[in-house]
Amino acid sequence: MSVLPIVTYNDPVLKEKTKPVEMIDKELEKFIDDLFETMYNARGVGLAAPQVGELISIFVADADLMAEETGEPAYGPIVFINPEIKELKGEVIRMEEGCLSIPEVRDDVKRHESVVLSYRDRDFDLKEQEFTGWLARVIQHEYDHLQGILFLDHLSAFKRRVHKSKLQKIDSGLLETEYPLVPKTIAK
Ligand code: NI
């Protein structure tokens, strides 16, 4: 397994829609392992393929540490392949979020309490399951990544302005993190 460098804000790959996965092979299995290792190395709770530069419909998540603290259901580490949101349920809750592609920027985002998701698992078997609590939030955040949407896109123009200097720093490749990032190619 290897830790992959993470693509950061304003890289165009984060604004693209992903393509469905057609089959699982050895290469893809390794990629999924790498996604998990990259996520854990960065102390993240979710990571989507575009965040390591791959425009395919896969994300991984493990929100058990947070769920443990709040007494919510623990689902363990899960890979979601070709996920589709079937239904958003429950209350809309406002909570602070961050993103490994937008280091040091955090803000409140409204998400549904529960989500019904169809997806393929590691064996490419089709599943449909309802998730609630922290993992439901992580799923909605990561699902957005597969559509080219960042949590910043849910914020008001005013809130985005508040984060402007930090975002510029990330975009210029000047922000240092404890996990490896894809270097910015264009000198600014
Ligand atoms: Ni994210």
C-alpha of residue 116 to centroid of ligand 1, in Å: 20
C-alpha of residue 152 to centroid of ligand 1, in Å: 10
For residue 107, what are the contacts with CB-CB under 8 A and spacing of at least 6?
96, 97, 151, 152, 155, 159, 163
pLDDT at 80: 98
**CB atoms inside a 10 Å sphere around CB 22:** 10
Tell me what the mean pLDDT of segment 101-121 comes to. 97
d(CA 52, CA 7): 6
Position 6, amino acid: I
The reported pTM is 0.96
Q: What is the pLDDT of residues 118-165, one digit of tens each?
A: 999 999 999 999 999 999 999 999 999 999 999 999 999 999 999 999
Q: Is 142 a catalytic residue?
A: yes
Q: Could you tell me which CATH number the domain at 6-186 has?
A: 3.90.45.10
Q: What is the pLDDT of residues 10-55, one digit of tens each?
A: 999 999 999 999 999 999 999 999 999 999 999 999 999 999 999 9
Q: What does the longest C-alpha to C-alpha distance in the chain come to?
A: 47
pLDDT at 71: 84
User: CB of 52 within 8 A of CB of 18?
Assistant: no
Is residue 43 classed as helix, strand or coil in its secondary structure? coil
| List 29, 84, 87, 142, catalytic entry | 142
C-alpha of residue 156 to centroid of ligand 1, in Å: 18
**CB atoms inside a 10 Å sphere around CB 130:** 13
Torsion of CA 37, 39, 45, 48, to 10 degrees: -110
C-alpha of residue 92 to centroid of ligand 1, in Å: 19
